Amino acid sequence: FFFKQKTAYEIYQCDWSSDVCSSDLFFIKSADDQFNLQLDTLMQFRYSYLLSDDGNRTRTKEGTVPNPGLGETGVDSSASAFEAERARIKLSGHVLKDLQYMIQLEMDDDVNNSTYLLDYVLAYSFMPEFGLKAGRYKGAFGRQWNVNPSQLMMVDRSLASAVFNVGRSTGLEAFGECPLGDTKLHYRAGIYNGINDTTSSPFAQNDNNPAVAARLVLPLMGATPTDFDNESALMGQIGRASWREW
C-alpha cells in the first residue's frame, strides 16, 4: 500500500536535478521572476510482509546459525511492518533566472528516522546545447533510477535498478540537448567522487578514485522526454549509458 504524489513532473529538458518541478507547487518569487523559491514534499508509505522459509527456526533473527553456548536460539525470521519509505522536503528555484538550485532533505534513513541532506544542486544552462551542474545528486546512468519516485507506479524500483544504478555522488556534470532531425538528443556526462558515494568526507580523506558516467537519450516518433509523463499516446525512446570507476 502506498501514497504517491501526482503533481510533479521530471525535468528532462535540462535534466539538471533528475527530480521534480511544477507550477502547482507553493512558491515565492519576485515580481520580475528573477528570483524564485518552490517548496515541495513527498511521502510514500507502505506495508510489507516478508515470508521467510525458515519455518523450522534454524536461524537467528540476524540470519546466522544459532550457537547454544552463547544462549542463541532459532526464531521465525518472517517480518511484518508499516514503513515510511520516503519522507522528503525539497526547496528549489532559480536566482537571476538562469542559475537553478535545489536542496532536498530526507527524513527517513531506515535506521532511526533522523533527517539528513539527500541532494544539493547548482546548475546553469549557458545554452540549450550546454549547461553545467555541481553538487550531490543521482549519477548519469540508468533509466528507472533517474525517474523521480513520485512518478513510479510502485514505491519500490525494480531489482535490476537496485543492482545496477550508480547511486548518488558529489561531482560536476555537463548536460544539454542537441537538435537531431525532428527530435533532440539529450545527454549528461559527469565526473564524480565515486559510485554510490553519499558521504561528505573531508578533502584529506579523499581516496583519489573518481568515477565517470554518461547518458544519451533519443526520443522517437516526435516525442520529447517530458511526453513520457502522458501515457495516452504511443511513444518510444532509445538510450545508452556507461560508467567507470578507477
Half-sphere exposure of 199 (CA within 13 A, CB side): 8
**pLDDT of 157:** 85
Cα Rg of the chain (Å, integer): 21
Cβ density class 112-124: b for 16+ within 10 Å, e for less: eeeeeebbbbebb
- pLDDT band with cut points at 50, 70 and 90 for residue 56: low
pTM confidence score: 0.70
Q: What percentage of the chain carries pLDDT values higher than 70?
A: 70
Q: How far apart are CA 16 and CA 174, in angstroms?
A: 9
What are the residues facing 241 on neighbouring strands? 215
- What CA–CA distances, in Å, run from 114 to 17, 86, 104, 136, 231? 23, 12, 14, 19, 37
**pLDDT of 237:** 76
- pLDDT band with cut points at 50, 70 and 90 for residue 207: low
Q: pLDDT higher for 125 or 65?
A: 125
